[in-house]
């Protein structure tokens, strides 16, 4: 082959900024390194099924501001636990050898894996089988280790904050408790930061199990002192002290089978039963993952992409591009794979929330 090749796939859930990464990788590969880019469709599913496209300059043009991913994605595909139905029975099989055959047949210099903790875990296993991997951290949850922020988070935070802002007027007009449930899984970054930015009165996150009596007492106190409404921002992974998370369903053929959601309805019912205040629940859901990325996420995603290609060109493999202290730096893949970055108890954001009188569900 006259040109070297690099592969790219987008795994896990979609989020704003994925196309900016695809654009950044493709254009920098062509412009700076004269390399071809192989884009795998639907995340690791494309690697499993052999579905890919050679990305050219035209394909990467005009996609910077688009949400989602032109390559498609999947949060179910896993080469090491591929779901197959044989004779009416569902079973998991390891098809990673076939993926490595395709990787070698395409003579890839490296595979750029764009995704969250699940994607990085699979990427790490492919690296153990001989693939040269470079990771790009993507998640609206901001729960990847070793990086200060992930692209997609700022866009989701903006959407969640705007929702809280809009619900304020309705809460005030009707004297209600408005509960806003946001994503984040086991990490409370999105709820905490959008809650502070939106002026939430109560913020409940997974890292701080809440006491429902404390929440009810706080709402009553606000009413007693003339504040006849309250905004409660709830992370989907929040849980009561000694209790469990609430989930909508279990997706059996997914590497991450638990689908959280609905905790805000439980809390709303408890508040209504103990107070005379009417409650309303808004679950923002996938609105947080859609639409055009913010300028910050476009910049961040492009920086990640260019740095990823630099690592490929320098043959600095099995690394994840991390944003630390305002700089793009490589971090060993094993430091990221299979780990979650949760909100620490001494987080400055927690201290800020307490300082402005926000209730975090505990005394």
Give the pLDDT means over successive 10-residue stretches in the chain (363 positions): 89 94 98 97 97 96 95 92 81 94 97 95 96 97 96 97 95 91 96 98 98 96 89 97 87 69 95 92 93 97 98 97 96 93 97 97 93
Residue 251: partners with Cβ closer than 8 Å, 6 or more residues away:
76, 257, 259
Can you list the alpha helix ranges (DSSP code H) found in the chain? Answer: 18-33, 44-49, 96-105, 117-128, 153-174, 189-197, 212-224, 263-274, 295-313, 348-355
CATH 3.40.50.450 in the chain, residue ranges: 5-151+293-335
* Measured distance CA(207)–CA(111) in Å, rounded: 34
CATH 3.40.50.460 in the chain, residue ranges: 154-290
Determine contact, residues 189/343, Cβ cutoff 8 Å: yes
CATH number of 154-290: 3.40.50.460
Determine contact, residues 155/293, Cβ cutoff 8 Å: yes
**φ, ψ for residue 6 (rounded to 5)?**
-130, 140
* Measured distance CA(116)–CA(96) in Å, rounded: 20
Taking the model in full, what pTM does it have? Answer: 0.93
**φ, ψ for residue 102 (rounded to 5)?**
-65, -40
* Measured distance CA(31)–CA(239) in Å, rounded: 50
User: What are the residue numbers of the active site?
Assistant: 141
Pairing status of strand 258-260 against strand 230-235 = unpaired
Counting Cβ atoms within 10 Å, is residue 273 exposed (0-12), middle (13-18) or buried (19+)?
A: exposed
Residue 118: partners with Cβ closer than 8 Å, 6 or more residues away:
11, 12, 75, 255, 256
DSSP 8-state code for residue 185: T
For 171-194, b/e burial (b = at least 16 CB within 10 A) is beeeebbbbbbbbbbbbbbbbbbb
Two tokens at 5?
Answer: 């090749």
pLDDT of residue 258: 73
| CATH class label, 5-151+293-335 | alpha beta
């Amino acid at each position: 082959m006259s040109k070297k090749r690099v592969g790219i796939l987008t795994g896990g859930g979609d989020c704003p900024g994925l196309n900016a990464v695809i654009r950044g990788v493709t254009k920098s590969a062509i412009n700076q390194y004269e390399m071809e880019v192989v884009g795998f469709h639907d995340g690791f599913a494309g690697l499993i099924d052999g579905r890919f496209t050679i990305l050219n300059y035209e394909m990467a043009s005009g996609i910077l501001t688009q949400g989602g991913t032109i390559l498609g994605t999947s949060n179910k595909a896993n080469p090491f636990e591929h779901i197959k139905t044989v004779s009416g029975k569902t079973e998991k099989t390891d098809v990673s050898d076939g993926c490595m055959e395709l990787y070698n047949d395409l003579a890839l210099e490296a595979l750029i894996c764009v995704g969250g903790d699940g994607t990085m875990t699979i990427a790490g296993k492919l690296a153990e089988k001989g693939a040269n991997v470079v990771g790009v951290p993507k998640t609206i949850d901001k729960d990847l280790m070793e990086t200060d922020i992930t692209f997609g988070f700022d866009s989701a935070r903006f959407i969640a904050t705007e929702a809280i802002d809009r619900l304020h007027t309705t809460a005030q007009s009707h004297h209600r408790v408005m509960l806003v449930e946001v994503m984040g899984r086991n990490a409370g970054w999105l709820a905490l930061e959008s809650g502070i930015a939106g002026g939430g009165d109560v913020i409940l996150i997974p890292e701080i199990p809440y006491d429902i009596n404390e929440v009810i007492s706080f709402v009553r106190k606000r009413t007693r002192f003339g504040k006849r409404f309250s905004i409660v921002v709830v992370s989907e992974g929040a849980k009561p002290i000694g209790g469990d998370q609430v989930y909508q369903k279990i997706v059996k053929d997914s590497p991450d089978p638990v689908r959280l959601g609905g905790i805000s309805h439980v809390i709303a019912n408890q508040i209504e039963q103990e107070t005379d205040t009417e409650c309303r629940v808004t679950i923002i859901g996938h609105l947080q993952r859609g639409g055009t990325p913010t300028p910050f996420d476009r910049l961040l995603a492009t920086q990640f992409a260019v740095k990823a290609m630099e690592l490929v060109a320098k043959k600095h493999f099995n690394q994840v591009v991390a944003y630390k202290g305002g700089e793009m730096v490589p971090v060993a893949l094993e430091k990221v794979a299979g780990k979650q970055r949760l909100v620490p108890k001494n987080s400055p954001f927690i201290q800020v929330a307490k300082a402005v009188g926000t209730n975090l569900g505990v005394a």
